[in-house]
Amino acid sequence: MKTVPACLIFCLLIFSGGAEAVQSVSPSRRITMDYDSREQLDQVLARLAPSALGQALNRVFLGTPEPTTGGPGHGAILDRLFQRVQMILDMPRPQLTITIRFHDDARGLQQAYQTLSGLHASTPAFYWQKTRTIHINSQAATLGMLAHEMAHAVIDNYFVIRPPGKIAEMLCQFVDKEVSRGNL
């Protein structure tokens, strides 16, 4: 695959979308959230928050507090999801840091994919290993989808020799299914 210098990618991303991306970090500081406006981030995090049943199960099994949006707990749901993904895979990566780029819509996501890969694709999310960044359409984002891409990040950074793509994909689908059952 043709490689594009990192600085060029950065400039293209900054200047192609018009609005400049804003960044903040999750409480664990392991996840950088990259988004267009605070409103966009608040909306997506509120939508990702687990149901009342899921929250009760989390308190019983994981002893974790309810997720919060706004304030110091902002993004705690993403930290917990990242932790859960590693537990499901049985692949702990305590030092692994990732970025999640929340795109405003499907067009923004497709643009980013095309800029990075030079290819056209209509995917709701993808993981880009070079920058350890998950790109996702914030309007379509689900916990299962994010867990799937987080699993790609964990798998790609766990093995010295990366497993074949099909094997990695099967593992990511398994993680997606587990998380989508509702027990975060």
Instruction: Evaluate whether 106 touches 38 at the Cβ level (below 8 Å).
Output: no
C-beta nearest to Zn ion: residue: 172
**Residues in region 48-67 near Zn ion by CB under 5 A:** none
**Residues in region 2-31 near Zn ion by CB under 5 A:** none
**Residues in region 121-180 near Zn ion by CB under 5 A:** 169, 172
| Residue closer to Zn ion (CB basis): 41 or 171 | 171
- Least Å distance, CB 134 to Zn ion, is 11
| Residue closer to Zn ion (CB basis): 76 or 116 | 116
| Residue closer to Zn ion (CB basis): 36 or 82 | 82
| Residue closer to Zn ion (CB basis): 72 or 164 | 164
For 12, the enclosing helix (H) or strand (E) is helix 6-16
- Least Å distance, CB 61 to Zn ion, is 26
- Least Å distance, CB 149 to Zn ion, is 7
Tell me the two tokens of residue 67.
């997720």
- Integer Cα distance of 83 and 78 in angstroms: 9
- Integer Cα distance of 164 and 168 in angstroms: 6
- Integer Cα distance of 171 and 166 in angstroms: 9
Q: Of the candidates 141, 154, 45, 171, which has an alpha carbon nearest to the alpha carbon of residue 97?
A: 154
Q: Measured on CA atoms in the order 128, 103, 26, 54, is the torsion positive or negative? A: negative
Instruction: Evaluate whether 143 touches 179 at the Cβ level (below 8 Å).
Output: yes
Q: Which residues pair with 74 in a beta bridge?
A: 68
Number of residues that bind Zn ion (CB under 5 A): 2
- Least Å distance, CB 127 to Zn ion, is 7
- Least Å distance, CB 94 to Zn ion, is 23
| Residue closer to Zn ion (CB basis): 104 or 169 | 169
Asked if 89 interacts with Zn ion (CB under 5 A), we say no
Query: Which residues here bind Zn ion, judged by CB under 5 A?
Result: 169, 172
